[in-house]
Amino acid sequence: MHSQVNSSIVLDEREETIKKLLVNFCDEYNSYVPDADKLELRITGGWVRDKLLGKESHDLDIAVNVLSGEEFASKLLEYTEKKGIKVGANSTSLHTIKKNPEKSKHLETCTARLFGLDVDFVNLRSEQYTEESRVPIVDCGTAEEDALRRDATLNALFYNLNRNKVEDFTGRGIEDLKNGLLRTPLQPLKTFVDDPLRVLRLIRFAARFDFVIEPDTLSAMKDSHIRSALVHKISRERVGVETDKILTGNNVSYGLRLLNHVGFSESIFNPGVLVSTVYELNDKDLCEQIRHFDKKVSSRIDAATQHMQSFTNSLKSANDIPLLQAIWQAVLQDKAATKTFWLCVILEPYSEINVRLNPRKQSLTHYPEVILKEGLRFGKADYDTVSNILKNTSGFTTFDRYFENPSQITRSDLGLYIRQYGDHFPLSVAFGAFSDYLKGVETENRTAEVPTPDGLHLPFNETAFHEIAFQYESLLETIKSEGLEKAADLKPVVDGKMISKALNKKPGPWMKDVTHEVVRWQLDHPHGNAEECIEHLRSVLI
């Protein structure tokens, strides 16, 4: 793949103003210090890459050669005050993040607000790693050392503010950017063993920009030492952050295929530090089930990513399934929904697995929740939603009963089932349709094939597609005709106080089942009122 790359950096008005301020300050500072102490500033990281690709970026990281970030920012603000230069609101308050290797902050970083934009200042640095930890020994370094420590050549490009030019210390960054090629500045295997997180970062950039990974770099990613280092050297929070970015990127299927190809799937989608706890506290048969499903994660990703594009294209081109089309399109246009969709697809093999995690308690936790909460450190919104969808779509569901014989399903059956999903019912439909399609087609394992950004173009099973699509379209038409689109928002026509008074009973746990019966009656009697509902309750409860 070839990318259109600008020959120079084009600054917007605010960036030009910031540059002028910084260069003028450097000129004055440099006029009274020895040559060895003269300031030189470079914008580093993704900003340079994005600018050369013609994309906007407001993530300004500036590397300083001879001062710490805080020293530089403090002297800069002294300069602006002396000169009477107004740099915007909150400019006098500096935010300094001290060195904290455990949180991946290896040198002090200082943030100053200039003309409404947060700008980070940090030293140029060098890194040395040990076998025991991904946390490097970091020291101030040269521009070349700083460039060579980065994850990819095209991310190692600098924009020298003083000289107004792009610097490519690896000698390959510009060319690799033009060719859409991701490679490490140094020997790839050592680069990844030092910090296995770089594998995930390169995969993330590949999926974001539709770039390819250079063959030797891709080969090094498959080394078993890398997978071991990912488990033992990298915090699950960091793994989760990179996985999240892959799942919300521009080409999720490509990112997942790359993860699968290099053998990272099982190392990512697992319970993290709770692996041993799961196997210690649960019976042998359940543990064997989990091991069996662990091996299915890779094949599940392989099958889903093979069929995703053709399934989407067929939905778009179909003329007689407008309701399913609308839901599918809405899910794919929402990055959070897309992420949840993929997590459901990947973790579906574990849908009916519940595990014990506390030796003092018999309570069980849904295994997909454990993977997301402990293995990837995702938030409650993620693991609650995924767990809820997977629990409610497993086994023989109300939808399955509808597909088998629509006439046997009442309005309340559908309404109560929809309510189980809350606001995520459309997402459950998209997931259900795609999952059902996957179950109906045979898929050859293609994990070993080198993934490409444009994906696989496989023969499409039109028979299976149309059967699934028409089933779900019929279901959605029934939901629409019955006025159940907002079933999740339905409020009970009578509340707890009214029920307690009418039945002459004190409030208590019994009311939960009664409230459920109220909603069921209400769904079957959409025009009924409170008095009629109370009469129904009396007839069934007294």
Q: How far apart are the C-alpha atoms of 388 and 368, rounded to whole Å?
A: 10
State both tokens at 417. 């089932």
Contact of 18 with 119, CB cutoff 8 Å: yes
Total Cβ atoms within 10 A of residue 496: 14
What does R_g of the chain's alpha carbons equal in angstroms? 29
For the chain, the domains span: 13-186, 188-268, 271-489, 496-541
pLDDT of residue 126: 65
Architecture of the structural domain at 188-268 = Orthogonal Bundle (1.10)
Closest CA to 433 of 294, 323, 317: 323
Contact of 206 with 255, CB cutoff 8 Å: yes
State both tokens at 12. 């917007």
Q: How far apart are the C-alpha atoms of 156 and 172, rounded to whole Å?
A: 10
501's CB contacts (< 8 A; 6+ apart) are: none
**Which helix (DSSP H) or strand (DSSP E) does residue 29 occupy?**
helix 13-30
Q: State the first-to-last Cα distance of the chain, in angstroms, to the nearest integer.
A: 74
Q: What single string gives the DSSP state of each residue in 340-374?
A: HHHHHHHHGGGTT-EEE--TT---EEEHHHHIIII
Q: pTM, whole model, 2 decimals? A: 0.90
Listed in sequence order, the DSSP H helices in 371-490 are 380-393, 398-404, 411-419, 425-439, 462-481
Residues forming beta bridges with residue 139, ordered by sequence position: 126
Q: Which CATH superfamily is domain 13-186 in?
A: Beta Polymerase, domain 2 (3.30.460.10)
- Taking CA atoms, 4 is separated from 50, 77, 171, 180, 348, in Å, by 11, 38, 19, 9, 40
State both tokens at 469. 């699509």
Closest CA to 462 of 485, 431, 489, 440: 440
- Residue position matching structure tokens 């196997």: 279
Q: Do domains 13-186 and 188-268 have the same CATH topology?
A: no
Count of helices and strands (H, E) across the chain: 25, 13
pLDDT of residue 114: 92
CA dihedral 459, 462, 467, 473 (to 10 degrees): 100
CA dihedral 113, 117, 118, 119 (to 10 degrees): -90
- Residue position matching structure tokens 């960091």: 238
Q: How far apart are the C-alpha atoms of 231 and 169, rounded to whole Å?
A: 32
- Taking CA atoms, 158 is separated from 29, 144, 511, in Å, by 22, 10, 66
Per-residue pLDDT of the chain (542 residues; tens, 9 = 90+): 677 888 889 999 999 999 999 999 999 999 999 999 999 999 998 999 999 999 988 889 999 998 888 899 999 999 999 999 998 876 666 666 544 444 343 457 899 899 999 999 998 876 665 555 556 545 567 899 899 989 999 999 999 999 999 999 999 999 999 999 999 999 999 889 888 999 999 999 999 999 999 999 999 999 998 888 888 888 999 999 999 999 999 999 999 999 999 999 999 999 999 999 999 999 999 999 999 999 899 999 999 999 999 999 999 999 899 999 999 999 999 999 999 999 999 999 999 999 999 999 999 999 999 999 999 999 999 999 999 999 999 988 999 999 999 999 999 999 999 999 999 999 999 999 999 999 988 889 999 999 999 988 777 888 889 999 999 999 999 999 999 999 999 999 988 888 888 888 888 888 888 888 999 999 999 999 999 999 998 888 76
pLDDT of residue 430: 97
State both tokens at 33. 């210090």
Contact of 111 with 119, CB cutoff 8 Å: yes
240's CB contacts (< 8 A; 6+ apart) are: 375, 376, 377, 378
Closest CA to 338 of 254, 418, 430, 255: 430
Give the burial string for 375-393 (b: 16+ CB within 10 Å, else e). Answer: bbbbeeebbbbbbbbbbbb
Total Cβ atoms within 10 A of residue 285: 8
- Taking CA atoms, 114 is separated from 38, 70, 429, in Å, by 22, 15, 47
